[in-house]
Homo-oligomer: A and B are copies of this chain.
Amino acid sequence: MNGATALINTLANCGVEFCIANPGTSEMHLVQALDAVPRVKSVLALFEGVCTGAADGIGRMTGKPAATLLHLGPGMANGIANLHNARRANSPMINIIGNHPNFHVGHDAPLTSNIDTLAHNFSCWIKSECTADSLAQDGADAYTATLRQSTGSTGQIATLIMGADAAWGDSLGPVEPNAVPQRAKVNESAIDKVASIIEKRGSNTVILLEHHGTEQAAMAAASKISNKYGCKMFNGTFPARVDGGPGRIAIDRLPYFPEQVLGTLNGVENLVLVGGSTPVSFFAYQNSPAELIPEGCEVTRLSYIEEDAIDAMERLADRLGASKQSITTFEKKDISKPNGELNTKTIIQSLAATLPENVIVCTDSGGGNAAYPFCQSTSQNNWLSLTGGAIGQGGPCSVGAALACPDQRVLAMLGDGGAAYTIQALWTQARENLDITTVIFANNSYNILDVEYGRLGVTNVGDIAASLFDIGNPAIDWVSLAKGFGVPGGKADTGEELCALLEKSYGTPGPFIIQANGEIKR
Q: Which residues of A line the B interface, CB within 8 A?
A: 21, 23-26, 28-29, 31-32, 34-36, 38, 42, 44, 46-47, 49, 72-75, 77-78, 80-81, 84-85, 87-88, 100-101, 103-104, 107-111, 113-114, 117-118, 120-122, 164-165, 168, 238, 277, 280-284, 286, 290-291, 387-390, 392, 417, 420-421, 423-424, 427, 430-431, 446, 448-449, 452-453, 456, 458, 461-465, 467-468, 470-471, 473-486
B23–A109 touching, CB < 8 Å:
no
Closest to A470 in B: B44
Cα distance A49–B476 in the bound complex, in angstroms: 19
CA distance A384 to B108 in the complex (A): 21
CA distance A44 to B468 in the complex (A): 6
Interfacial chain B residues near A280, Cβ < 8 Å = 104, 107-109
Given contacts A118-B121, A120-B117, contact A281 B109 (CB under 8 A): yes
A101 touches B284 (CB 8 A): yes
Given contacts A84-B73, A420-B424, contact A26 B480 (CB under 8 A): no
B110 adjacent to A388 (CB under 8 Å):
yes
Check B108–A420 contact: CB distance below 8 A. no
Complex: A485 Cα to B419 Cα, angstroms: 13
Interfacial chain B residues near A482, Cβ < 8 Å:
484
Q: A281-B109, A284-B103, A427-B476 are known contacts. Are A118 and B80 too (CB-CB below 8 A)? A: yes
For this complex, 30 residue pairs linking A to B, each with C-beta atoms less than 8 Å apart, are A23-B446, A28-B456, A31-B453, A35-B464, A38-B464, A42-B468, A44-B467, A44-B468, A46-B421, A47-B421, A74-B80, A78-B81, A104-B280, A104-B281, A108-B277, A109-B282, A109-B283, A110-B282, A110-B389, A111-B389, A114-B120, A117-B118, A168-B286, A421-B424, A423-B423, A431-B474, A474-B486, A476-B485, A480-B483, A483-B484
When C-beta atoms are compared, the residue in chain B nearest to A280 turns out to be: B107
B284 pairs with A104, CB closer than 8 A? yes
Q: Are A110 and B281 in contact (CB under 8 A)?
A: no
Q: Provide the residues of chain B in CB contact with A118, threshold 8 Å.
A: 77, 80, 117-118, 121
Residue of B nearest to A122 (CB): B113
Contacts A78-B421, A87-B113, A477-B486 supplied; 10 other A-B pairs, CB < 8 Å: A23-B468, A25-B452, A28-B449, A103-B284, A104-B284, A108-B280, A109-B290, A113-B121, A117-B117, A420-B424
**A291 partner residues in chain B, CB cutoff 8 A:** 107
User: Do residues A484 and B473 form an inter-chain contact, with CB atoms below 8 A?
Assistant: no
Contacts A73-B84, A423-B423 hold; do A478 and B484 have CB atoms under 8 A apart? yes
Q: How far is it, in angstroms, between the C-alpha of A31 and the C-alpha of B456 when the chains are bound?
A: 11
Instruction: Check A238 against B42 for contact (C-beta < 8 Å).
Output: no
Q: How far is the CA of A90 from the CA of B35 in the complex (A)?
A: 39
Most B CB contacts (10 A, CB to CB) among A87, A114, A290, A448 go to A290
| Minimum C-beta distance from A389 to chain B (A) | 4
Pick the contact of A42: B49, B164, B467 (CB < 8 A): B467
- Cβ-defined contact, B42 with A464, below 8 A: yes
A277 CA to B388 CA, complexed, in Å: 41
* A100-B283, A110-B88, A484-B481 known; A456+B24 contact, CB < 8 A: no
Q: Which of B46, B84, B108, B453 contacts A28 (CB 8 A)?
A: B453
Which of A38, A42, A120, A388 counts the most B-chain CB atoms under 10 A from its CB? A388
Would B74 and A465 count as touching, CB distance under 8 A?
A: no
Instruction: Quote the shortest CB–CB distance from A281 to chain B (angstroms).
Output: 7
Q: Flag if B25 contacts A283 (CB, 8 Å).
A: yes
Question: Nearest residue in B to A109 (C-beta to C-beta)?
Answer: B280
- Tell me the smallest distance from the CB of A94 to a CB of chain B, in Å: 18
Q: Could you say which of B32, B78, B480 contacts A49, with CB atoms under 8 Å apart?
A: B78
A420 pairs with B47, CB closer than 8 A: yes
With contacts A390-B74, A468-B21 known, is A32 near B456, CB below 8 A?
yes
A164 shortest CB reach to chain B, Å: 6
Specify the chain B residue showing the minimal Cβ separation from A464: B35
A478 vs B283: C-alpha distance when bound (angstroms): 38
Using Cβ atoms and an 8 Å threshold, which residues of chain B touch A387? 110
Distance in angstroms between the alpha carbons of A458 and B2 in the assembled complex: 15
From B44, B101, B471, A46 is in contact (CB under 8 Å) with B471
Shortest A318–chain B CB gap in Å is: 33
Asked if A32 and B458 make an inter-chain contact with CB atoms under 8 angstroms apart, the answer reads: yes
Q: Whole-angstrom distance from the CB of A60 to the nearest CB of chain B?
A: 16
Residues of B within 8 A of A35 (CB): 461-465
CA distance A88 to B73 in the complex (A): 13
Chain B residue with minimal CB distance to A285? B164
B164 touches A284 (CB 8 A): yes
| Residues from chain B with Cβ under 8 Å of A476 in the complex | 427, 484-486
